[in-house]
Amino acid sequence: MALSLDTLLADHLLSAIVFLPLATVLLLALADGMFRLPETIWRYTALASSLVGLLLALALWQRFDPASSGMQLVEHADWIPSWGIHYSLGIDGIALRLGALTSFLLPVVLLASWTDIHARVKSYLFFMLALQTGMLGAFLALNLFLFYVFWELMLIPMYFIIGIWGGQRRVYAAVKFFLFTMVGSLLMLVAMLVLYVLHQEQFGSVTLNLIAPPGGTRGLLDTVVPLAGQAVWWKTQPWLFAAFALAF
């Protein structure tokens, strides 16, 4: 049993790191609806989950091979393959450090806010751990559609955290945050669709995978984006760069 668990964790370590926080708060919410759990249970369970996530991030660091230049520990499964949409996670040196930093910060944030959050504690913990899943998923996603899902999942908890537990002008800040992120998300969505079209025009196949999936030959990173003046303006590097940069 231990061997099979270790094998399962090795094959799906990235998924475990990404979805552990969300799974924790969903189970807490389900149990709370049945038994009305005290806030103390929520606090300690959320903290324990964050510490387990940190341990998984350390295990990920140990398994990472710094001598390899490609994506590592790739997880891939069909989702909507006819549209080029797959569940695909992977890690490189940058994602490794960002993911480890995010996993380290969550328990620090929970401990730092332990005595400062008094109102709606359960909701606060729910949104914090859901935010963690969104951030980790955005760092590790290798499919642009999956990245977009995690990106939007990340923004929703941030809106409520700002609007409920922010400073004196928290409602104003939350509305402004929503407007900026909505415009940015739309720009990014359009830019993603342009890359999708360019890839289809150049290779005759549809994909939103950044790298070639198992058994495939091309990913979005193989797409040649024209320079200014070489194609219609919305298919050129300056416009696509501006769209992604403004969204981020």
Model confidence at 213, pLDDT cuts 50, 70, 90, reads confident
| pLDDT number for residue 10 | 67
Average pLDDT over all residues of the chain: 92
Position 59 pLDDT exceeds 70: yes
| Cα 29 from Cα 74, distance rounded (Å) | 31
What is the model's pLDDT at position 140? Answer: 97
User: How confident is the model over 92-144, as pLDDT tens digits?
Assistant: 999 999 999 999 999 999 999 999 998 899 999 999 999 999 999 999 999 99
Cα 41 from chain centroid (whole Å): 27
Between 101 and 10, name the one with better pLDDT.
Answer: 101
pLDDT in the model for residue 69: 84
For 170-184, letters b (16+ CB in 10 Å) and e give: eeeebeebbeebeeb
How does residue 70 score in pLDDT terms, banded at 50, 70 and 90? confident
Average pLDDT estimate for 153-161: 94
How far lies 82's CA from each of 184, 206, 214, 219, in Å? 27, 8, 16, 15
Q: What distance in Å separates the CA atoms of residue 197 and residue 195, rounded to the nearest whole number?
A: 5
Separation between Cα atoms, residue 121 and residue 17, nearest integer Å:
24
pLDDT tens column, 223-243: 999 999 899 999 999 999 999
Q: Are 124 and 132 in contact (CB under 8 A)?
A: no
Q: What is the DSSP letter of 77?
A: E
The pLDDT of residue 121? 94
pLDDT at 216: 77
